[in-house]
Amino acid sequence: PLDEILNLHDFEAIARQVMAEKAWAYYSSAADDEITNRENHAAYHRPRILRDVTKVDWSTTILGHKSSMPLYITATALGKLGHPDGEMILTRAAAKHGVIQMIPTLASCSFDEIVDAAQPGQVQFFQLYVNKDRNITKRLVQHAEKRGIKGLFITVDAPQLGRREKDMRMKFEAEDPSEVSKTGSKGVDRSQGAARAISSFIDPGLNWNDLKWFKDITAMPLILKGVQCWEDALEAYDLNLAGVVLSNHGGRQLDFARSGIEILVEVVEKLKEKRGLTFPNEQFQLFVDGGVRRATDVLKAVALGATAVGVGRPFLYAYSSYGPEGMDKALQILHDEFEMNLRLLGAPTIRDVVPEMVDASNIHSHLVAVPGDRLYDSNYESMQH
Ligand code: HOC
């Protein structure tokens, strides 16, 4: 029962039991041996004591917009695989809890349905996969801007689909009701999983020169989603973009990619050295996603300089298992965790969460994953179906 759910991991355990095999395979799958998906990040808190934390406030601003917590609902594809209302559950929960939703290009609900489901004044971002046909992309972007979208997150870590073997062992039927709304994926191979069926329109030719074009076609703030090293973060800064998401795409693209928080440490250090930047920074904002399950994961990233953190899979598992109530519960758990952990950190507000509150000295020591562990098992397990 829902009242026995204590944290976001619990939703994953329940989802594994109750979700349709195909939906579970798509949501949970990660690339190759799923090493990045389980990567640990060795950052630990250094709390301060004897600060008055009677009142704590975990609200913040993201790209200038209010958010009740330093996190947003990041884009995840095919929301209807988990529940017939798909992404609209996320929209309604975002309104109720004062957080920002990033609408995916590969949503199951149409873009307009998701925007229409929002409350007046509710802030939404849009995640963009760039189409080989740039006219389609242009129309999509300009329509998003017209509909009031406040930030365009261009995904840059997926010139080709990662090899998600759990998902590949499944068939993605043409008549799937959860099929993505408008991907231009007609006539593609459906014999190997959802990801393969939906991804063929994406342009592997996308490159730095295209960013000027984006600036010409839209006034929305542009953020690159999927930056994995300081050199690319610096390039984005020099192009006057609004920020970058340090992300390994939930471990679903390049296996052995580093965790977002590890990349964050490198980016903050190098952008200070090269451009004198300090973070958090209003003009150039850093975001992190991947593997976030606890408010402490978010607070470590915030302490190290991130403006906010994206959460994806846990919300899918929450609503796939329990519908809208599950999503509500997931966000309430996070609110409660923020309140408690800010007190325990000795930080009355998000501005008081500073770099000294994290020991990141072991952040670059990587965990060695061995065959026979939980994730290898779950991948092989899917062969039996
Ligand atoms: C090359 C295109 O983000 C996922 C989604 C969709 C992937 C499209 C990748 O499954 O990770």
Digit-coded pLDDT (tens) for 63-91 = 999 999 999 999 999 999 999 999 999 99
Query: What are the percentages of helix, strand and coil residues in the chain, rounded to 5?
Result: 40, 15, 45
pLDDT digits (tens, 9 = 90+) for 224-280: 999 999 999 999 999 999 999 999 999 999 999 999 999 999 999 999 999 999 999
Which residue ranges form the domains of the chain, and what is each CATH number?
A: 2-379 (3.20.20.70)
Per DSSP, the residues of 2-19 read GGG--SHHHHHHHHHHHS
The closest alpha carbon to 130, from 162, 108, 105, belongs to 105
Q: Name the band, by pLDDT with cuts 50, 70 and 90, for residue 191.
A: confident
pLDDT digits (tens, 9 = 90+) for 28-60: 999 988 878 777 667 889 999 999 999 999 999
Kindly provide the ipTM of the predicted complex, given to two decimals: 0.96
Hey, what are 20's tokens?
Answer: 């349709």
Cα 147 to ligand 1 centre (Å): 24
pLDDT at 197: 85
Helix (H) and strand (E) counts in the chain: 14, 12
Cα 362 to ligand 1 centre (Å): 31
Q: Is 249 a catalytic residue?
A: yes
pLDDT at 327: 98
Cα 312 to ligand 1 centre (Å): 13
Gap between the Cα atoms of 89 and 76, Å rounded: 13
pLDDT digits (tens, 9 = 90+) for 115-165: 999 999 999 999 999 999 999 999 999 999 999 999 999 999 999 999 999
CB of 161 within 6 A of ligand 1: the answer is: yes
The closest alpha carbon to 172, from 205, 154, 195, 155, belongs to 195
Q: Name the band, by pLDDT with cuts 50, 70 and 90, for residue 329.
A: very high
Gap between the Cα atoms of 248 and 270, Å rounded: 19
Gap between the Cα atoms of 305 and 286, Å rounded: 7
Atom of ligand 1 nearest to the CA of 158: 1
Per the CB < 8 A criterion, the answer to whether 215 and 241 are in contact is no
